[in-house]
Amino acid sequence: MLQPSGLGSRAWRTILAVAPTAAPRRQTNWENMTTIAVILGSTRPGRNSEAVARWILDLASARTDASFELVDVADHDLPLLDEPVPASMGQYQNEHTKRWAETVARYDGYVFVTPEYNHSTSGALKNAIDYVYAEWNNKAASFVSYGSAGGVRAVEHLRLIAAELQIATVRAQVSLSLADDFENYSEFTPREQALPQVETMLDQLVSWTKALESVRAEGAPAS
């Protein structure tokens, strides 16, 4: 395995150490496997979130109870919200909105990777979330945050936003400190203590995502 660019040596050693011992999850129906997006929620040049998101993706990929894919908000070129009709009406007019809606709809659950800017999440992530509505409904989500205080205040805001979008958020979250989990506040070098947090978060997320399958299948009205 090659070390991904942007990932610190300590983070890579951590992945190598945990991957062989990760407990497999039983999955009997591979054709209908739960699919979860790891959403990279920063578009800032030199962002720390890419290394964090790829670390989460690498750890999650060792599981067999769900499949995980990276979704980078920066790849979708979303301008400041420019839809004339509220997203809850489902009347998307712009092509970039329709493409983003298709991406969001493709997944059963989400891991939001967010920085903390001024006691909240990034403007780019909030903007992307606001673009669509029904595509988020009756899904589950978890959070990985980083910042001077672990990014916990950004997550608190995201939990309120998720509730309005009918996203069920799990309790467990991963909070990373810029002082302790980044070398010189820039190179991502997560502490080993973060690994149990990741495992618990993913366990809860997959469980809740699967539990909501029946709700999504019934086509519960978005009210």
pLDDT value for 218? 86
Q: What is the CATH number of the domain that holds 49?
A: 3.40.50.360
What domain count does the chain have?
1
Q: What is the pTM of this model?
A: 0.85
Whether 220 is in a domain gets the answer: no
pLDDT digits (tens, 9 = 90+) for 138-162: 999 999 999 999 999 999 999 999 9
User: Binning pLDDT at 50, 70 and 90, where does residue 22 land?
Assistant: very low
3-state secondary structure of 182: strand
Asked if residue 223 is part of any domain, the answer here is no
Residue 173 counted as domain residue: yes
Structural domain span for residue 50: 9-19+32-214
Percent of the chain with pLDDT over 70: 84
Within a domain: 71: yes
Interval 116-124 mean pLDDT: 98
C-alpha–C-alpha distance, residues 55 and 176, integer Å: 12
Question: Is 1 within a domain?
Answer: no
Check pLDDT > 50 for residue 2. Answer: no
Phi-psi region of 160 (alpha: psi -120 to 50; beta: other; left: phi over 0): alpha
The verdict on residue 4 lying in a domain is no
3-state secondary structure 60-90: HCCCCCCEEEEEEHHHHCCCCCCCCCCHHHC
Whether residue 40 is predicted with pLDDT greater than 60 in this model: the reply is yes
